[in-house]
Amino acid sequence: MNNKKNIIYLISLALGIGLSGCPAPDDSIHTNVEPLAEFDPISMDRPAIDPDYEPISAGFPIDVDGSPIQFWWWSPGGRGPYPTIVMLHGSPGIERNLDIARVLQRAGFNVATFTHRGHWGSEGFMTPTNGLEDIAAVVDWIRACADDPECPPPIDPARIAYLGHSYGGWRAMLSIMEVPDISCAVVLDTSLGPSPSGEELRKYVAEHGDIPPEEKEWEKSKTLPGSPARIEQVGAWSADLLANVDRLNLMAQVDELAKQKLFVLSSSLVDNYSTLVQALEEHGPERLRTELWETDHHFNGRRVELARAMVDYFTEDCFD
């Protein structure tokens, strides 16, 4: 695990314990806390905190292919081990759903979130495939930590799930088909991929010999100082998209996607919902849940309802 000693030290500081005092987690779930049915994690703190296994809140960089990315971690307290929800932001990532992260922490889950390469202070550059590789690296870190007796978080490596919003939902659906043994993915108001798509871009380049002017302008805007999402140079994003058309074409992989456990929750403002759901339902998925809410892209005005839906799904459906 890259930077393992630094990470263990930072987490240990957050826990307030020495490295030599990190006990290995046992196999019980919700040890030292009351059953979830006896309190409401939406509106209440956990009813009992074991002083030897207090909740964790920590932030530190982890390395992805030589680029440090910003990473945050929450654990609920107790010995665990606990399932882990990996939260995936959109582009550039204004909405982080951190209110949901704290609710899930109180509900008995580890929560991990991070900033993709080339976004908001994480080093490196964004490309479509870098986004997928970032997710895989984060899952690798979580599983390596679970296998390391010196790494304090009480992690169940067999129970990891995604919660992706907007462009993060697209990444979640691609990643759940690529990263082994992910339990489920919640997809909030998702995109179906970059615009233009790889297929559209490939056709345009074949006809005109270059990427569209508006694409050049968009990519140029991502090279300017201070941009919250950065690419290396004009044409880098398009080159990655063109080189990985098949891998990044979500709708061409719906037969495989339909085998995964998914909760697709969208707002009334998104055009992709019916396209995605219809394509999935044509494959007769047995583990698909879908809902369409009257709200906006950030679920403003329905945040408490969204939090409850997330707790219910991850508690009752995802990890069965």
User: Which contiguous run of DSSP H or E holds residue 154?
Assistant: none
Whether residue 218 sits in one domain with residue 147: no
pLDDT tens per residue, range 58-75: 999 999 999 999 999 999
Q: Which domain holds residue 220?
A: 194-249
Is 152 among the domain residues? yes
pLDDT value at 270 more than 90: no
pLDDT value at 7 more than 90: no
Cα 117 from Cα 248, distance rounded (Å): 18
Q: How confident is the model at residue 37 (pLDDT cuts 50, 70, 90)?
A: low
Q: Helix (H, G, I), strand (E, B), or coil: what is residue 274?
A: helix
pLDDT value at 38 more than 90: no
Return mean pLDDT, the chain: 87
Whether residue 242 sits in one domain with residue 138: no
Whether residue 238 sits in one domain with residue 100: no
Is 266 among the domain residues? yes
Whether residue 156 sits in one domain with residue 201: no
- How many structural domains is the chain composed of? 2
114, β-bridge pairs: 71
Range name among 147-156, 157-166, 181-190 with the lowest pLDDT average? 147-156
The two three-digit tokens of residue 218, written as one number: 């968009």
The two three-digit tokens of residue 177, written as one number: 């088909």
pLDDT value at 19 more than 70: no
Q: Helix (H, G, I), strand (E, B), or coil: what is residue 113?
A: strand
Q: What percent of the chain has pLDDT over 90?
A: 69
pLDDT tens per residue, range 97-156: 999 999 999 999 999 999 899 888 788 898 999 999 999 999 999 999 999 988 878 999
Whether residue 146 sits in one domain with residue 45: yes
The number of beta carbons lying within 10 Å of the beta carbon of residue 44 is: 10
Whether residue 296 sits in one domain with residue 167: yes
Tell how far CA 303 is from the center of its chain: 18
Q: How confident is the model at residue 214 (pLDDT cuts 50, 70, 90)?
A: very high
Q: How confident is the model at residue 11 (pLDDT cuts 50, 70, 90)?
A: low
The two three-digit tokens of residue 93, written as one number: 């990532």
Whether residue 126 sits in one domain with residue 27: yes
Is 287 among the domain residues? yes
Q: Name the one residue in this structure whose structure tokens are 């959109």.
A: 90
pLDDT of residue 268: 81
pLDDT value at 15 more than 60: no
What CATH number is attached to the domain comprising 101? 3.40.50.1820
Whether residue 231 sits in one domain with residue 94: no
**Mean pLDDT score, 191-208:** 93
